[in-house]
C-alpha cells in the first residue's frame, strides 16, 4: 500500500516535470492539442450540511464582491428573519464598525428561499484583512483581504463550476494559491431548477467566496425560465449574486452586465451578459459603448479585459457558433478599445487563442481564452475541430483554473492549471502584453474608437 502510494507520487512528480518541460519546448507558432486524457466527470456532491442553527439566524452562503474602489458588499442567507447587519473591524473578535443593509427573498415553484441579506461596508483600506460577522450572530466569524490599490494584481478566472468532486478539486487548488479576486464567466451552481442546489452551492464556495471578492456574470444555467410557471429569468441568480452593476465609473441598468476597476484603475474588467439583449441599440450595447469610451479617455487603464459566457472563438465541437451573434454585435467595439483579453466559459474545456479579430489572427486583437473547466456534472467537451487552426494556440479537455497576474502596466502572466488529481499542474502559460502600451496598435486608436461608435 505504502509502496504503491510512493510510486504513484513519484509518477506525479515525473508527470509534472514532463509537463513543465513541454511548456518550454512548445514552439511559439505551433498549434497544440494536448494529449492529456482525464477520467470521466465525478458525481454531484450530496447536498452539503447546514451548519448547526437552532434559532435560524446563523449566516450561511456568505460571499463578497467589490463595490467601487474601496467598498465591499457582503451577501449572506439566514433561514429565519435576522438583521441585515455586518459588523467589522481589523482585529479578530472586535467589530467597531457596523452597517445595516437590506433583505430580500424569492419563491420559485414550491421553493421559498431563506432571507437573503446584503450590506455594503467601507470605505476600507487596501491590502488589509478585515474580520466580520453577519446578522450579529456570534456563531461564526469570517474574514477577507481587500485587494491592493496598485499593481501587481492577481486574478483567478474559472467558469462552469457546478458542485461535483471535480469542483471541489478546483476549489482546493484555488484555495492553495494567493489571489486578490476571482472572476467567474458564468454557470455557477448547475442548480437547474432545483433551488436547494443554489443553497448547497453557496455553502460549497463560502470558504473562498467569503474571503476574496467573487465577481460573476451569468451563464445559461442561471436563466431557469419555465413557460407559465416561472416566466421571469435569472430569479435565483439576481437575488443571490447581486453584483455592483449600479456602481463604478459606468453604472449599468442591469445585474446581468457591469464593469469595474481594480488596482487604482490600472485594470478595467468588463462583465458582459451573453443571455440578455446585446444587439446594436440594446441597453447592453449602448452601455458597453459608453464604458469603452470612458476607458479610452482614461490614461491610467493599462489593461482592459472582458468576460462572456458563450465563447466567440472556439474549435471545440461543443457549443460551436453559440457566441457568434454576440461576437458580431460587440467584437468591433472591444477591438476599437484595444481590449487585451476576452475570457469565456460554456465549453467544458480549456482553449487559448492567439490575438484575433474578425475570425483572423490580428496583432491588435484580444487574446481569447475559454476557461469553462470548473468541474460541473455535465463532464468534459472532448471533441475538437480538426486540424487545429493556427489561431488556436493550445487546447485541452481537462478541468482546471486560470490565473492572470497583472505584473505591471505592460505585462500580465496568464497560466492555466490543470487539476491533475492531487497537484495543480501548470499546463499552459503565456505573457500578455498591454495593447495600450503597444505603439503599433495605437497609431490610430482614437480614430478606431470613433469609427466603431
Ligand atoms: C514589467 O514586467 C515585465 C515582466 O516581469 C518586465 O520584463 C518589465 O521590465 C516590467 N516593466 C517595467 C516598466 O518594470
Ligand atoms: C489603422 O488604420 C489603417 C487605415 O485605416 C488600418 O488599415 C489599420 O488596420 C489600422 N490599424 C489598427 C491597429 O487599427
Ligand atoms: Fe454554459
Q: How many CB atoms lie within 10 A of CB 107?
A: 11
Which has the closest alpha carbon to 373: 34, 25, 8?
Answer: 34
pLDDT at 445 over 70: no
The C-alpha atoms of residue 429 and residue 201 are separated, in whole angstroms, by 30
Residue 3: its pLDDT value, please? 34
Radius of gyration over alpha carbons of the chain, in Å?
A: 22
Distance CA 147, CA 134 (A): 21
Residue (of 416, 394, 395) closest to 404 by Cα position: 416
Pocket perturbation via mutation, ligand 1, pick of 410, 429, 431 by most ligand atoms within 8 A of CB: 410
> What is the pTM (predicted TM-score) of this model?
0.89
Residues with CB under 6 A from ligand 2: 364, 441, 444, 448
Three-state SS at 201: helix
From the alpha carbon of 413, which atom of ligand 1 is closest? Answer: 4
Q: Is the pLDDT of residue 17 over 90?
A: no
How many residues in total does the chain contain? 453
**C-alpha 410: how far from chain center:** 22
* pLDDT (0 to 100) of residue 54: 78
Q: Rounded to an integer, what distance in angstroms lies between the CA atom of residue 275 and that of residue 278?
A: 8
3-state helix, strand, coil in the chain (%, to 5): 20, 30, 50
Return d(Cα 200, Cα 318) in angstroms, integer.
28
Give yes or no for residue 448 having a pLDDT over 80: no
Q: Would you place residue 282 in the very low, low, confident or very high pLDDT band (cuts 50, 70, 90)? A: very high
Average pLDDT, stretch 175-185? 97
- Phi first, then psi: what are they for 260, rounded to 5°? -160, 165
Residue nearest to atom 13 of ligand 2 (CA): 441
Cell representation of residue 345: 466559459
The residue whose CB lies within 8 Å of the most ligand 1 atoms, and thus the one to mutate among 408, 414, 438, is: 408
At residue 184, φ and ψ (nearest 5 deg) are -125, 110
pLDDT higher than 90, residue 46? no
CA distance 319 to 311: 8
Could you tell me the distance, in angstroms and rounded to a whole number, from the CA of residue 19 to the centre of ligand 3? 29
User: How sure is the predictor about 50, in pLDDT bands with cuts at 50, 70 and 90?
Assistant: low
Question: What separation in Å is there between the alpha carbon of 218 and the centre of ligand 1?
Answer: 34
Between the CA of 380 and the centroid of ligand 3 the distance, in Å, is 12
Nearest CA to ligand 2 atom 6: 444
Q: Would you say residue 231 has pLDDT above 50?
A: yes
Query: Tens of pLDDT along 94-115?
Result: 999 999 999 999 999 999 999 9
Output the average pLDDT for the chain: 90
Q: Could you check whether the bond before residue 8 is cis, i.e. omega within 30 degrees of 0?
A: no
- Residue with CA closest to ligand 1 atom 8: 411
> What average pLDDT does range 165-178 have in this prediction?
95
From CA 395, how far away is CA 415, in angstroms rounded? 13
Q: In this structure, which long-range contacts are made by residues 280-289, counting pairs with CB atoms below 8 Å and at least 24 apart in sequence?
A: 280/329, 283/252, 283/253, 283/254, 284/252, 284/254, 284/256, 284/257, 285/329, 285/330, 285/333, 287/250, 287/252, 287/253, 287/257, 288/257, 288/330, 288/333, 289/333, 289/453
Confidence of residue 422 (pLDDT cuts 50, 70, 90): low
Residue in 440, 444, 448 to alter for ligand 2 test, most ligand atoms within 8 A of Cβ: 444
Compute CA 17 distance to the chain's CA centroid, rounded to the nearest angstrom: 29
Residue of the CA atom closest to atom 2 of ligand 2: 444
CA dihedral of 270, 276, 278, 279, whole degrees rounded to 10: 180
**Mean pLDDT to the nearest integer, 48-65:** 84
Q: Is the CB of 411 under 6 A from ligand 1?
A: yes
Burial state string for 351-368 with b = 16 or more CB within 10 A and e = fewer than 16: bbbbbbbeeeeeebbbbb
Residue 165: is its pLDDT beyond 50? Answer: yes
Identify each DSSP E strand in 308-359 by its residue range: 341-344, 350-357
410 within ligand 1 shell (Cβ under 6 A): yes
Helices (H), 300-359: 324-336
Active site residues: 319
pLDDT of residue 197: 97
pLDDT of residue 405: 98
The CA distance from 63 to 132, in Å, is: 12
| 9: confidence class by pLDDT, cuts 50, 70, 90 | very low
Residue nearest ligand 1's atom 2 by CA: 411
Domains for the chain: give ranges and CATH numbers.
60-145 (2.60.40.380), 153-452 (3.60.21.10)
Instruction: List C-alpha distances in Å: 86 to 132, 141, 163.
Output: 7, 11, 28
Where residue 346 falls (left for φ over 0; alpha for ψ -120 to 50; beta otherwise) is left
DSSP 338: T
Q: Which ligand is nearest to the CA of 446?
A: 2
Strand 392-396, strand 32-33: pairing: parallel
- Within 13 A of 101's CA, how many CA atoms are on the CB side? 23
Rounded Cα–Cα distance for residues 107 and 91 (Å) = 38
Amino acid at each position: 500500500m505504502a509502496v504503491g502510494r510512493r510510486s504513484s507520487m513519484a509518477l506525479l512528480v515525473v508527470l509534472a516535470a514532463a509537463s513543465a518541460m513541454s511548456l518550454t519546448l512548445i514552439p511559439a507558432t505551433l498549434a497544440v492539442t494536448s494529449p492529456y486524457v482525464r477520467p470521466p466527470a465525478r458525481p454531484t456532491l450530496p447536498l452539503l450540511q447546514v451548519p448547526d442553527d437552532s434559532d435560524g439566524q446563523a449566516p450561511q452562503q456568505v460571499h463578497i464582491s467589490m463595490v467601487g474602489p474601496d467598498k465591499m458588499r457582503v451577501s449572506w442567507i439566514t433561514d429565519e428573519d435576522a438583521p441585515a447587519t455586518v459588523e467589522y473591524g481589523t482585529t479578530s473578535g472586535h467589530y467597531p464598525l457596523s452597517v445595516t443593509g437590506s433583505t430580500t427573498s424569492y419563491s420559485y415553484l414550491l421553493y421559498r428561499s431563506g432571507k437573503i441579506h446584503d450590506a455594503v461596508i467601507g470605505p476600507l483600506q487596501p491590502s488589509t484583512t478585515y474580520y466580520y460577522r453577519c446578522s450579529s450572530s456570534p456563531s461564526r466569524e469570517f474574514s477577507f483581504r481587500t485587494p491592493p490599490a496598485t499593481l501587481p494584481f492577481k486574478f483567478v478566472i474559472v467558469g462552469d463550476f457546478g458542485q461535483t468532486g471535480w469542483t471541489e478539486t478546483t476549489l482546493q487548488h484555488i484555495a492553495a494559491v494567493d489571489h486578490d479576486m476571482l472572476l467567474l464567466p458564468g454557470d455557477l451552481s448547475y442548480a437547474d431548477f432545483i433551488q436547494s442546489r443554489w443553497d448547497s452551492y453557496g455553502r460549497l464556495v463560502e470558504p473562498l467566496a467569503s474571503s476574496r471578492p467573487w465577481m460573476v456574470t451569468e451563464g445559461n444555467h442561471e436563466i431557469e425560465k419555465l413557460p407559465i410557471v416561472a416566466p421571469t429569468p435569472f430569479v435565483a441568480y439576481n437575488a443571490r449574486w447581486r453584483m455592483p452593476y449600479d456602481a463604478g465609473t459606468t453604472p449599468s441598468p442591469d445585474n446581468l452586465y457591469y464593469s469595474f476597476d481594480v488596482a487604482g484603475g490600472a485594470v478595467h474588467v468588463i462583465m458582459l451578459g451573453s443571455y440578455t439583449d446585446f444587439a446594436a441599440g440594446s441597453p447592453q450595447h449602448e452601455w458597453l459603448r459608453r464604458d469603452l469610451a470612458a476607458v479610452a479617455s482614461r490614461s491610467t487603464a493599462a489593461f482592459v479585459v472582458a468576460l462572456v459566457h458563450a465563447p466567440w472563438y472556439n474549435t471545440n465541437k461543443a457549443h460551436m457558433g453559440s457566441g457568434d451573434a454576440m461576437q458580431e454585435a460587440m467584437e468591433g467595439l472591444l477591438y476599437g478599445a484595444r481590449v487585451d483579453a476576452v475570457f469565456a466559459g460554456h465549453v467544458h474545456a480549456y482553449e487559448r487563442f492567439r490575438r484575433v479579430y474578425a475570425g483572423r489572427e490580428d496583432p491588435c486583437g484580444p487574446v481569447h481564452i475559454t476557461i469553462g473547466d470548473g468541474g460541473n456534472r455535465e463532464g468534459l467537451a472532448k471533441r475538437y475541430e480538426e486540424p487545429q487552426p493556427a489561431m488556436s494556440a493550445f487546447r485541452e479537455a481537462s478541468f482546471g483554473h486560470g490565473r492572470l497576474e497583472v505584473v505591471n502596466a505592460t505585462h500580465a502572466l496568464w497560466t492555466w492549471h490543470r487539476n491533475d488529481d492531487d497537484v495543480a499542474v501548470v499546463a499552459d502559460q503565456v505573457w500578455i502584453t498591454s495593447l495600450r502600451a503597444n505603439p503599433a496598435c495605437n497609431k490610430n486608436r482614437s480614430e478606431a474608437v470613433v469609427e466603431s461608435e
